[in-house]
């Protein structure tokens, strides 16, 4: 990976920083609304990864609200600034809680399935905002550990340099730097992966109540997110500082230069 946007840290330094990388351990425990049916207090989710059958027309702005940890937090998911190729009127987006996606049996996974119509290059800005009340009126600052799994087929995933401070990848990661985007740190990878392949995942850490990312691709794409220690998801190791590597080898923490 290019070091243009990162400063590498040695393994010993990483262990010293691990206490700062814990983050809140969050899981989706209920769907208040999503793009699939929009119903209130729905306990349904999508089995598998989601398909074109689960996409729908959508409106720019809030595309989902989810109860986290039994009501300890509420997360609002927003989608904005879709570019040509991703028209909200064209049955093009799924934002929903999923289960058993590629063998991932956890029910706290957020999956974003994007289907451009017609197939063409697209970009989409997304935001995760956290609140302490179901009315979404009281922001709830926290330290978020956001793990993006299964970055493959040349998908491009960006984290905001303003809302995230650290990005953790495996020392032998397959991820490379995506095309430069001002104010963001980008990741991409060719090939095919599953959620449990640490070489195609990145965990990002930030503190606040609102967090920004950008998604890009040239065709249909699936993005999968967890909001907790990725080791709990992948079964690799329990600490987030080593979870994205597990038994695969050495670890590198890539910190954005300030």
Give 48-99 pLDDT, tens digit per residue.
667 778 888 999 999 999 999 999 999 999 999 999 789 999 889 999 988 7
Q: Is the peptide bond before 118 cis (omega within 30 degrees of 0)?
A: yes
Q: Residues 107-164: pLDDT tens digits?
A: 678 999 999 988 899 999 999 999 999 999 999 999 999 999 889 999 999 999 999 9
Q: Residues 215-239: pLDDT tens digits?
A: 999 999 999 998 876 655 543 333 3
DSSP string for 194-222: -TT-GGG-EEEEEEESEEEEEEEESS-EE
pLDDT in the model for residue 41 = 43
Q: Residues 12-60: pLDDT tens digits?
A: 222 233 334 467 789 888 889 888 765 444 445 676 667 778 888 999 9
Of 36 and 8, the structure prediction assigns the larger pLDDT to 36
pLDDT in the model for residue 157 = 98
Q: Residues 153-205: pLDDT tens digits?
A: 999 999 999 999 999 888 788 999 999 999 999 999 998 887 778 889 898 99
pLDDT in the model for residue 244 = 35
pLDDT in the model for residue 239 = 37
pLDDT in the model for residue 173 = 87
Give the separation between CA 161 and CA 256, rounded to whole angstroms: 7
Query: Where are the chain's structural domains?
Result: 1-22+159-184+196-204+229-258, 25-141+209-227
Distances (CA, A) of 65 to 38, 74, 128: 9, 7, 10
Segment 245-255 shows an average pLDDT of 36
pLDDT in the model for residue 105 = 58
Q: Which residue has the tokens 């909200």?
A: 88
């Amino acid at each position: 990976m290019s070091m243009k946007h990162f400063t590498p840290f040695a393994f010993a330094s990483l262990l010293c920083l691990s206490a700062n990388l814990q983050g809140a351990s969050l899981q989706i425990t209920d769907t208040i609304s999503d793009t699939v049916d929009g119903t209130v207090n729905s306990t349904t989710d999508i089995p598998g990864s989601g398909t074109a059958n689960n996409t729908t027309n959508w409106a720019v702005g809030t595309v989902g609200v989810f109860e986290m940890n039994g009501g300890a937090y509420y997360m609002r998911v927003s989608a904005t600034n879709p570019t040509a190729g991703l028209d909200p009127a064209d049955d093009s987006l799924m934002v929903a809680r999923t289960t058993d996606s590629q063998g991932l049996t956890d029910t706290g996974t957020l999956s974003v399935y994007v289907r451009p119509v017609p197939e063409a290059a697209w970009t989409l800005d997304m935001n995760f905002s956290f609140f302490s009340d179901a009315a979404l009126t009281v922001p709830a600052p926290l330290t978020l550990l956001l793990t993006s799994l299964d970055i493959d087929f040349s998908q491009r995933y960006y984290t905001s340099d303003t809302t995230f401070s650290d990005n953790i990848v495996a020392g032998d990661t397959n991820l490379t730097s995506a095309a430069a985007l001002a104010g963001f740190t980008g990741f991409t990878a060719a090939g095919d992966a599953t959620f449990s392949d640490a070489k195609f995942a990145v965990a990002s850490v930030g503190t606040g109540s609102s967090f920004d990312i950008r998604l890009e691709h040239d065709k249909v794409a699936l993005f999968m997110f967890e909001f907790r220690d990725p080791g709990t998801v992948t079964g690799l190791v329990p600490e987030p500082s080593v979870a994205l590597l597990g038994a695969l080898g050495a670890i590198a923490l890539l910190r954005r230069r300030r």
